[in-house]
Amino acid sequence: MPITDFLERNAREHPDETALVEINPEHEDRPNAPESWREFNLVESNYGENTYHREISWLDFNCRANRFANLLLANGIKRGDKVGILLMNCLEWLPVYFGILKAGAVVVPLNYRYTADEIEYCVDLADCSLLVFGPEFLDRIDSIKAEMPKIHKLYFVGKECPEWAESYYHFMSYCSSRRPPVQIDDDDYAAIYFSSGTTGFPKAILHKHRSLTHSAFTEQKHHGQKYGDCFLCMPPLYHTGAKMHWFGSLISCSKAVLLRGISPKWILKTASEEKATN
């Protein structure tokens, strides 16, 4: 059973329950953003850099993933094509991830600490056709965009999209929220994760959908995650440690809170306010 089927199930059985919450402690004094894509229509950027609290339901999550999958298909992305993600933890991260999977493409999460040279190396090694990136990486991507000939499209998740990229929010708003007509099998390739590269440049590791599903059940069982729990996610989502742990929330259809930035005060405050259980 492909990992994307669990998102479909959660959206169908618990559409209005909260799936993801983003907390941005540096902007605690800012007003909260609208809670669903229907309220801001995915046209205006509500990227989390200027708001303290945002959240989406399982239905919103699935609709966003479908929209991005259909956007990828409209851009000529085919089964097996590679799509990179270079984002800090944010509400957009996981819908983008699942949108890539729903399009039948292979997700390539990239370490936010990569230098421009390392980004260029990994994108080239993975044969990425498209890259999704956030405002924290503008300078790095700008400096190497001419050196990435395999990338035919850059999608920017944030405000004030540069002229050499496309706005994720703008183009998403024109795409259908229906499930894309792509059949996904357990033995299809799903993701390329890179090692830390402690002895040189990062090494690519290829995973199938079956691998992701097995990891999800392992994490859910190991951590005892169940319906009604709340997972406080602090590590970066590009890393398998955070992603696979969150998969336990997916399997159990339980809420997860993405914390942007780490400090003991923020961790304790968020755990208390959101009633985190793990």
Task: Find which of 34-38, 89-93, 194-198 is predicted with most confidence, using mean pLDDT.
Answer: 89-93
Whether residue 78 is predicted with pLDDT greater than 50 in this model: the reply is yes
Q: Minimal CA–CA distance to 215: which of 182, 183, 239, 198?
A: 239
**Beta strands at 128-133 and 153-156: parallel, antiparallel or unpaired:** parallel
Q: Please compute the mean of the pLDDT values over residues 72-85 and round it to a whole number.
A: 97
Widest distance between CA atoms in the chain = 48
Give residue 245's pLDDT.
84
Structure confidence by residue, pLDDT tens digits, 132-185 = 999 999 999 999 999 999 999 999 999 999 999 999 999 999 999 999 999 999
Give residue 50's pLDDT.
61
Residue percentage of the chain with pLDDT more than 90? 74
Task: Examine residue 99 and state whether it is found in any structural domain, yes or no.
Answer: yes
Give residue 277's pLDDT.
93
Question: In the chain, how many domains are there?
Answer: 1
The DSSP secondary-structure symbol of 33 reads P
Give residue 44's pLDDT.
39
Q: For 71, how many CA atoms within 13 A lie in the half-sphere containing its CB? A: 29
235 falls in which pLDDT band (50, 70, 90)? Answer: confident
Q: Which domain holds residue 206?
A: 4-273
Give residue 195's pLDDT.
85
Task: Examine residue 40 and state whether it is found in any structural domain, yes or no.
Answer: yes
Is the CB of residue 220 less than 8 Å from the CB of residue 251? Answer: yes
Task: Examine residue 38 and state whether it is found in any structural domain, yes or no.
Answer: yes
Structure confidence by residue, pLDDT tens digits, 11-57 = 999 999 999 999 988 776 655 544 443 444 443 345 555 688 999 99
Task: Examine residue 278 and state whether it is found in any structural domain, yes or no.
Answer: no
Give residue 201's pLDDT.
82
Residue 83, domain CATH: 3.40.50.12780
Buried b or exposed e, range 44-81, using 16+ CB within 10 angstroms: ebbbbbebbbbbbbbbbbbbbbbbbbbbbbebebeeeb
Task: Examine residue 236 and state whether it is found in any structural domain, yes or no.
Answer: yes
Residue type, 95: P
Structure confidence by residue, pLDDT tens digits, 253-263 = 999 999 988 88
Q: How far apart are CA 98 and CA 107, in angstroms?
A: 9
